[in-house]
Structure 1
């Protein structure tokens, strides 16, 4: 699929699009439940501009210990592993349903032996024609009493139901929607598990802090009791005052075991989340924990954003789509169906003649069937599907309403907990000042030690309350993250547009808009897939590139939808073609008019989409093993230059992509200028099967990003040459290793590793003068080599050489 403009789709916000082919479909069109159609235009809280990002949202707490805990949970949690398995099952079901769209083909071989009376079967037919019977002789042939026939046959058979009314297509679409819903369910469960992890983490932090403060308070109260007992013995206070001091101590002592039990319970919960035991918690959580509280304002948004942001809303919409498609499939069952079946093969009564070319046969059957009487089964199946659709619509409406109200509640909770935390923080400052004042007054003899202890105890109590408020504020922020389905970030500064038509001005004011040019390509000889991108935007490579080695590479830009990459990869894994996957992604995406996306799979199949709302100049061009695209360009010659460069170039894929980017820039490039660039190349089973990355280099912010990108690529290739040189050296091919090391230092003259390797090989070859020249260049590039060279075994033989000592500064 290669097109620009609106696809043949229905508008459906929040539900995953599932449109595979342009054919007859009896599924009803999408419609919004009334509560969804009448959503409020904004939240009641006063918010700030910003953007949302669903990935790694927990990092906004800015706590490296918490990040490590979450990473461990993601790697070892049993519930997440079960969720991944459920997604795989749904993917398999979708692939099974899709198989009905294609013919089934099989092979068979058989031997048939028939032994019948002559007056039955074919013998009876011969007698009916008056041609003879048992005992009769015709032209010397005597009819036997029985006919014994053996037939040998091999054949290829096929069967195919022509999906004229769309039954199989709608069933496949329904299964595809259920698969996407299962993925959304997984992401919702993932958010839930991570929220439980973060809650438990802050429980542990708070309980550890409060337990420590309680112990300190007990120590203070023990001193206070001792002083009170002395005062009582001297008649300075009465028994009631002493009893109050002791009750205060006993109450605090009694609360300490409760805190310790709660701490043990929280650590046990964390152990379950980690898929391990208590010692695993001790290993990952240091004794001293100082969590940070992020203070970024929550960005403004409209409730309709939740239709795309929250996975539970997406799942409900996707299940509504599935129910809609199921109605189309059940309607199709009420209509006639047409199927074809047949076989082609060889048959013979003589096994030795079976594979004689003259023994072929064919068989083709066309079957038209129509339901007449099913005792209401088919119509009730339709009624059942319609009931499930109504149920799914109600569930979708409830999910959206719940989501909006959860955000309202979470925002109010965050505001209130922020104020409460500020009050307690101020109270702590006052309590601390009072304690310090009482300490000074005690040291001056103005007040007694008891007054100082009372001030210290007050401070400890406020510290314990503030620790609880800190936890509550963190969990209030967590509730907002969970309600919004992700994280938020401050908007990027967008530069003034240059040479951009007025029609694209709105896009330039959108911090999510990625004006850029890119190319995706395939090397059929190596199986590599790759992408190159350049933009007048920060970190374009971080947003535009998605790939899985041996499967697909996806470039998405303009008003980029961050879900396109992950969903596209999953759809290709489920067996959909790039064209089908792209139809499914853009089909009912309300923002598709501002999207730009290209897909290239391992078989070289391409699909591309440029929305009419992307900024001019915009467009794409796909050819054999590549797709080039761009928006906010100086003109179509930019995309044409990338295409022409890729078509005419040879060599490694990364270099071909680099050349295409240079050609695009020479043709005009991004109308606003240059800032960032990236190249990604993937392949199956790289680095022993642990990764699919062959090349992954990025320049996020630079005045000349393409020149810098080529420099980094040259350094990367230089490193590859050095690894191969080391292998040749181990194998005894010194000259081959030396030649590669020279090439490495020539390709990346600033790579001090190349010069050090070259020096070692020159020493092995007995060329000491050249070796010291290479070492001198390495030290010029990296003065730190003066510390490491004396420890290197490669230079042991020259450690006492004056030239070597001069190089290292001795």
Structure 2
């Protein structure tokens, strides 16, 4: 018995040495997709796992370069290194070959790369925990390990192909949902992430990340990720409306704000700024009607209204202001 235990102990020690996991490297057994929208050129990566904050380790992307998903016994460095190699001009396969060349734990890794042209390369190590596999093609790669069923990856591929024309962020979320519907991670679900970048880099890198959402710990991470994606879309309309307001384009601002409210009709923030825009456009009666409802639910919005004229965000006379504060 002691001999058997000794052999097991030596095997475990050898395994730990082989995969060379640092304490900070997560064991992100998971399923993911890297993809490019052929219509817009947007590039993205999406992932779900039974692991805390999976998006901080697995998903990487850079505008005008590509995306990387690094998972299983995760070598987190594959994310930034993979992007750097592709940025230098290497195609995904050559970049992947370099990443794996000196990696003693490559048999335990799963990694996928896609570049700005939609070229892909994927590796599933032979010692990734079953069920583990990948499928890829032009503009996409889906990969999974430690899955409950061996049907997960094929369901992801099908979901990608039959949803052509759907915006990239939503399309990738649908792919993740298809995986979960097949059983997903054998351990369950905990976190998810969605990252989409622009097709080309710009002089304003803070604008190059088009969608950057994470659910770090949740009983239904994909459901929550979908809700956050809707919130993101609504606030994108709000941001557009704000830009129109700055330019004095009230008609266009109202169109943007109305689009936001259609997504989240009960959101007081969206209702409030729509009402303020109406007031600035001399539609005082409509603004008053909306503000009265908002004040009833939260009187702090009335106090905010008092402060707006000072900074030029509400351009009304004293009598109109009194009506708005009614």
TM-score under structure 2 length normalisation: 0.82
Q: Distance in 2 between matches of 1:657 and 1:783?
A: 40
Question: Is the aligned partner of 1:661 residue 2:185?
Answer: no
Q: Distance in 2 between matches of 1:536 and 1:760?
A: 44
Does structure 1 retain, via aligned residues, the 8 Å contact 2:275–2:288?
Answer: yes
Give unpaired runs (5+ residues) of structure 1. 1-40, 42-300, 310-485, 490-510, 806-810
Task: Please list, as runs of the form range in 1=range in 2, the aligned pairs for 1:47-58 lying within 5 A after superposition.
Answer: none
Q: CA deviation at 1:626?
A: 0.6
Q: Of the candidates 575, 598, 601, which is equivalent to residue 115 of structure 2? A: 601
Does structure 2 retain, via aligned residues, the 8 Å contact 1:528–1:682?
Answer: yes
Q: Distance in 2 between matches of 1:626 and 1:594?
A: 22
Shift of the 610–779 alpha-carbon distance from structure 1 to 2, 3 Å rule, reads farther
2:36 counterpart residue number: 522
Shift of the 582–790 alpha-carbon distance from structure 1 to 2, 3 Å rule, reads same
Q: Distance in 2 between matches of 1:675 and 1:777?
A: 38
1:717 counterpart residue number: 233
Q: Of the candidates 617, 622, 632, which is equivalent to residue 131 of structure 2? A: 617
Q: CA deviation at 1:615?
A: 1.8
Q: Distance in 2 between matches of 1:672 and 1:577?
A: 35
Q: Of the candidates 262, 283, 293, which is equivalent to residue 746 of structure 1? A: 262
Q: Distance in 1 between matches of 2:202 and 2:290?
A: 33
Counterpart secondary structure, 1:706: helix
Q: Distance in 2 between matches of 1:682 and 1:708?
A: 21
Task: Please list, as runs of the form range in 1=range in 2, the aligned pairs for 1:521-560 lying within 5 A after superposition.
Answer: 521-560=35-74
Question: Is the aligned partner of 1:589 residue 2:111?
Answer: no
Counterpart secondary structure, 1:517: strand
Shift of the 308–673 alpha-carbon distance from structure 1 to 2, 3 Å rule, reads closer
Q: CA deviation at 1:531?
A: 0.8
1:238 counterpart residue number: none
Counterpart secondary structure, 2:156: helix
1:20 counterpart residue number: none
Question: Is the aligned partner of 1:675 residue 2:197?
Answer: no
Task: Please list, as runs of the form range in 1=range in 2, the aligned pairs for 1:306-321 lying within 5 A after superposition.
Answer: none
Counterpart secondary structure, 1:525: coil
Q: Of the candidates 88, 99, 107, which is equivalent to residue 574 of structure 1? A: 88
Q: CA deviation at 1:673?
A: 2.0
Does structure 1 retain, via aligned residues, the 8 Å contact 2:26–2:57?
Answer: no
Q: Distance in 1 between matches of 2:36 and 2:293?
A: 38
Does structure 1 retain, via aligned residues, the 8 Å contact 2:153–2:179?
Answer: yes
Q: CA deviation at 1:518?
A: 0.8
1:727 counterpart residue number: 243
Shift of the 561–804 alpha-carbon distance from structure 1 to 2, 3 Å rule, reads same
Q: Distance in 2 between matches of 1:780 and 1:645?
A: 45
Shift of the 625–306 alpha-carbon distance from structure 1 to 2, 3 Å rule, reads closer
Q: CA deviation at 1:631?
A: 1.4
Shift of the 790–560 alpha-carbon distance from structure 1 to 2, 3 Å rule, reads same
Q: CA deviation at 1:581?
A: 1.6
Aligned residues: 306
Q: Distance in 1 between matches of 2:295 and 2:174?
A: 32
2:79 counterpart residue number: 565
Task: Please list, as runs of the form range in 1=range in 2, the aligned pairs for 1:667-706 lying within 5 A after superposition.
Answer: 667-683=182-198, 684-686=200-202, 688-690=204-206, 692-706=208-222
Question: Is the aligned partner of 1:804 residue 2:325?
Answer: yes
Q: Distance in 1 between matches of 2:241 and 2:202?
A: 20
Does structure 2 retain, via aligned residues, the 8 Å contact 1:552–1:599?
Answer: yes
Q: CA deviation digits over 1:646-670, x for unaligned, max 9?
A: 2232243212212222222223222
Q: Distance in 2 between matches of 1:623 and 1:781?
A: 51
Alignment root-mean-square deviation, CA:
2.9
Task: Please list, as runs of the form range in 1=range in 2, the aligned pairs for 1:398-547 lying within 5 A after superposition.
Answer: 512-547=26-61
Q: Distance in 2 between matches of 1:579 and 1:736?
A: 46
Q: CA deviation at 1:640?
A: 2.4
Q: CA deviation digits over 1:387-443, x for unaligned, max 9?
A: xxxxxxxxxxxxxxxxxxxxxxxxxxxxxxxxxxxxxxxxxxxxxxxxxxxxxxxxx
2:275 counterpart residue number: 759
Q: CA deviation digits over 1:280-317, x for unaligned, max 9?
A: xxxxxxxxxxxxxxxxxxxxx99x959968xxxxxxxx
Shift of the 637–773 alpha-carbon distance from structure 1 to 2, 3 Å rule, reads farther
Does structure 2 retain, via aligned residues, the 8 Å contact 1:752–1:779?
Answer: no
Q: Distance in 1 between matches of 2:111 and 2:298?
A: 43
Q: CA deviation at 1:530?
A: 0.4
Q: Distance in 1 between matches of 2:239 and 2:34?
A: 28
Shift of the 539–739 alpha-carbon distance from structure 1 to 2, 3 Å rule, reads same
Q: CA deviation at 1:752?
A: 3.4
Shift of the 518–777 alpha-carbon distance from structure 1 to 2, 3 Å rule, reads farther
2:156 counterpart residue number: 642
TM-score under structure 1 length normalisation: 0.35
Shift of the 730–575 alpha-carbon distance from structure 1 to 2, 3 Å rule, reads closer
1:707 counterpart residue number: 223
Does structure 2 retain, via aligned residues, the 8 Å contact 1:553–1:600?
Answer: yes
Q: CA deviation at 1:675?
A: 1.2
Counterpart secondary structure, 2:90: coil
